[in-house]
Amino acid sequence: MGLINSFRESRRNAEASNNLYIAAVEQARSQIFFLDFGVPDSVDGRFDLVIVHIMLLVRRLRQQGKAAADVSQALLNLMFADMDRNLREMGVGDLSVGRQVKKIAKAFYGRAETWEQALDQDIKSVISALAETVYRSVDVPSEPISSLASYVMAADKHLAGQPTGAIVLGEVEFLVPQSEKSPS
């Protein structure tokens, strides 16, 4: 009985994490981030947006019990497996993939920690954290950075308002991003 339940739970977590990962990647691909928020439309810019959304999900699931922790871990495992697969498809050699995934993991955890600490403070801290990470390679006016910071803070609150049980089942609705350029 225990083995069958464990298999079902593992399968349920895999399906939920897959749904959450797809939702995060689709959200990260929203053109508003590149067109209105000035995020560089590059591998780094796209990676940063994916990890912003994964971080928000992991943050939401943190300390919500074993089922949430299991889905959160499955989500992270899936993200790193996808990064591994993408590196291989881009032609990175087998001997280098492990090192590259370690760099990706270090980048993820470093940025996620920076962003979470900023979210626990105020909008100025979020703006600063995003400027140092997402916008590190470009010079953009303060308005797009402020728009992204406002979005990240609002998305964090929006996710907090969604039932944990639904998210654990892989059902999530991200906030529709808005900028000063976008009609409300």
Domain ranges of the chain: 2-168
Contact in structure between 184 and 178 (CB atoms under 8 Å): yes
Q: Report the chain's mean pLDDT, rounded to a whole number.
A: 90
- Rounded distance, CA 39 to CA 138, Å? 8
Task: Check pLDDT > 90 for residue 15.
Answer: yes
Task: Check pLDDT > 50 for residue 162.
Answer: yes
SS3 content of the chain, % helix, strand, coil (to 5): 75, 0, 25
Selection from 177, 55, 27 nearest residue 116 by Cα: 55
Please state the pTM of the whole predicted model.
0.89
Tell me the pLDDT tens digit for each residue of 116-129: 999 999 999 999 99
> Looking at residue 181, what is its pLDDT?
59
Contact in structure between 72 and 168 (CB atoms under 8 Å): no
CA dihedral 138, 141, 144, 146 (to 10 degrees): 110
Task: Check pLDDT > 90 for residue 170.
Answer: yes
Tell me the pLDDT tens digit for each residue of 56-78: 999 999 989 999 999 999 999 99
- Rounded distance, CA 156 to CA 55, Å? 10
- Which amino acid appears at position 47 of this protein? F
- Which amino acid appears at position 85 of this protein? R
Task: Check pLDDT > 60 for residue 184.
Answer: no
- Rounded distance, CA 127 to CA 84, Å? 30
> Looking at residue 161, what is its pLDDT?
96
User: At 5, is the pLDDT very low, low, confident or very high (cuts 50, 70, 90)?
Assistant: low
**Number of helical H runs and strand E runs in the chain:** 8, 0
